[in-house]
Amino acid sequence: MPTGIEVRHERTESARLDNFVDGAFAFAITLLVISGASLPRNVAALEHALRGIPAFAACFAQLALFWHGHVRWRDVVRLTDGPSLRLSLLLVFFALIFVFPLNMAYGGFLSSISGGALSPDFAAEAPSVRGIAALFVCFGLSYTCMAGTLALLFRHGVRKARLSREDAILARVNLLLWSACAATGLLSTIAALFAAATQIGGLIPVSGFIYGLLGFSGTLMRRYRKLLEGALPA
């Protein structure tokens, strides 16, 4: 049984890790500020910056989703050890990389469907099929790495932590969820690589539509939870 000093030390280490992860995600979000490197100094600059709000909101939501995945892991698993520390730091590393293709992907998409009315900084760009495919590859790999890291965190918790029945179910459900997200990102990446290799522009939207498969994740998770509730002992 751990002593009081060991328990306090573990709580301190957990708090430090959580604060660092929270701060890193907050820093990643600041890289997406809609006004760019400086504050608008006239109405035209303000209007230009405000047109980037939808892309900023989408990027913010995506990063918040991954951040909440780590928060949920901490709430469910409550494990502080070497592998947990390394995987959490790896998640931060990927988040700081992910922010760049994330911003370009959402900004470029919203600019294209709005005819340049939204995210005007991307309106003047006309990348080639290979360039667009490369962006999807970067986005897909980053998405896969972050989701995969969260899946590994929950997998480690399932294997090593002493979990109650309810927490064991939640950990396994989240493990499946993030594994599905990682697989979806990888499938999108493969589609983008194929589009780049064949130079068929019509294949590029497939890379984006693949993420629509995640819309079925809620149904999958509910069925898996019911299966676990019947399989795990009370």
> 214-226 pLDDT, tens per residue?
999 889 999 999 9
> Alpha-carbon distance 122 to 141, whole Å?
22
For range 112-125, the mean pLDDT = 74
Among residues of the chain, what percentage have pLDDT more than 90?
A: 35
> Alpha-carbon distance 234 to 230, whole Å?
9
How confident is residue 110, by pLDDT bands cut at 50, 70 and 90?
confident
pLDDT of 120 > 50? The answer is: yes
Q: What does the pLDDT look like over 176-204, one tens digit per residue?
A: 999 999 999 999 999 989 888 887 777 78
> Alpha-carbon distance 90 to 44, whole Å?
40
pLDDT of 2 > 60? The answer is: no
User: Which ranges of the chain does DSSP label H, i.e. alpha helix?
Assistant: 4-30, 43-50, 53-77, 82-113, 129-160, 165-198, 204-209, 217-231
Note the pLDDT of residue 179: 97
Highest-scoring range by mean pLDDT, 16-30, 34-48, 77-91: 77-91
Q: What does the pLDDT look like over 131-176, one tens digit per residue?
A: 778 888 888 998 999 999 999 999 999 998 888 999 999 999 999 9
Note the pLDDT of residue 126: 56
Q: What does the pLDDT look like over 49-102, one tens digit per residue?
A: 788 888 888 888 999 999 999 999 999 998 888 899 899 999 999 988 888 888
How confident is residue 205, by pLDDT bands cut at 50, 70 and 90?
confident
CB distance 107 to 55 below 8 Å: yes
Note the pLDDT of residue 6: 45
Note the pLDDT of residue 223: 93
What is the rounded (10 degree) CA torsion for 126, 127, 129, 134? Answer: -150
Note the pLDDT of residue 35: 47
Rounded to two decimals, what is the model's pTM? Answer: 0.85
> Alpha-carbon distance 157 to 178, whole Å?
14
Strands (E), 31-179: none
